[in-house]
A = this chain, B = another copy of it.
Amino acid sequence: MKDKLWDHIARVRALSPLVHNVTNFVAMNNTANAVLAVGASPVMSHARSEVEAMVGICGAVVVNIGTLDEYWAGTMLRAAGEAGRLGRPWVFDPVGAGATPYRDGVSAELLALRPTVIRGNASEIMALTRTNTTVTKGVDSTAASTEATEAARRLSRDFGSVVCVSGGTDVIVAGELTVSVHNGSTLMTRVTGLGCSASAVIGAFVATGGDTLETVTAATALFAVCGEIAAEGVSGPGSLQAGLLDKLHNITATEFADRLRIA
């Protein structure tokens, strides 16, 4: 698969797909910038008066529950439902799943709509399968991504989704298949909303069609490799946020191939 990943990156730049995001307030700006930096075009919108119309003009939908409330949750369910009806891929980012019963209830409703892709940290993925018996610590994971592989397999089997568990190693599961991306930087965990940005970038990639395991892996690898390169040149998380966007925009095929470590 390794040799095909750059083709997907080039394809996003060429097609510039439109991605509809119903996402959280914290990460909206850097999420939109990440989608632009990889060459795609973001739309952020949540009004019930236009949700189906907006889904209809977009190539993929991203639903992120980071700052959900009762109104937004209704929009999320309608956006996901409309994506399903139209056969458009959609990505579910279960931010903070496990932190409160309300989050878990909305997550269960969204899961029942069978997301094309689920991306979260290990705590969140484990919370979705109720296999995590520890208390989730807000929106940051208390478990390593590799601990969540079994939960990811179960989610993939139960809901037909490709599941991406972010962490020191990013683990991507599609049914019986598993891919591991060994890029990234621990400094990325000190910038808010990078997981949200990764989910939106995955949305841009699955919008272009092609095998979902491949496009999710390409998006995940691109994000991790760019974060790794950017982190080397900076003195802290503030500069990393800008440097990551720069690198997502200007990375070359050679830079990508030289860094990529997947298995």
Instruction: Give the interface of A toward B (CB within 8 A).
Output: 18, 24-30, 32-33, 36-37, 41-50, 53-54, 57-58, 66-71, 96, 99-103, 135-140, 189-193, 234-239, 241-250
Contact = CB atoms under 8 A, between A and B. Distances in A.
Contacts of A242: 238-239, 241-242
A179 to B, nearest CB: 28
Given A238-B242, A238-B243, A70 B44 contact: no
A138 B246 CA distance: 23
Nearest to A68: B47
Contacts of A96: 43, 45
A191 B35 CA distance: 10
A192 B32 contact: yes
Contacts of A249: 190, 236-238
11 contacts: A29-B192, A33-B191, A45-B67, A46-B69, A47-B69, A47-B70, A48-B69, A49-B69, A237-B246, A238-B241, A238-B243
Contact of A26 (B32, B138, B191, B241): B32
A45 B65 CA distance: 10
Contact of A236 (B44, B45, B139, B246): B246
Given A45-B67, A54-B99, A137-B18, A237 B26 contact: no
Nearest to A44: B26
Nearest 4 CB-CB pairs, A to B?
A236-B246, A238-B245, A238-B242, A32-B192
B241 A236 contact: no
Contacts of A53: 99-102
A146 to B, nearest CB: 21
A37 B190 CA distance: 6
Contacts of A237: 33, 36-37, 245-246, 249
A30 B192 CA distance: 9
A49 B103 CA distance: 9
Q: Chain B CB within 10 Å — which of A18, A100, A239 has the most?
A: A100
A191 B36 contact: yes
Contacts of A42: 138-139, 192
Contacts of A54: 99-100
B235 A41 contact: no
B250 A33 contact: no
A138 B207 CA distance: 15
Contacts of A191: 33, 36
Contacts of A49: 69-70, 102
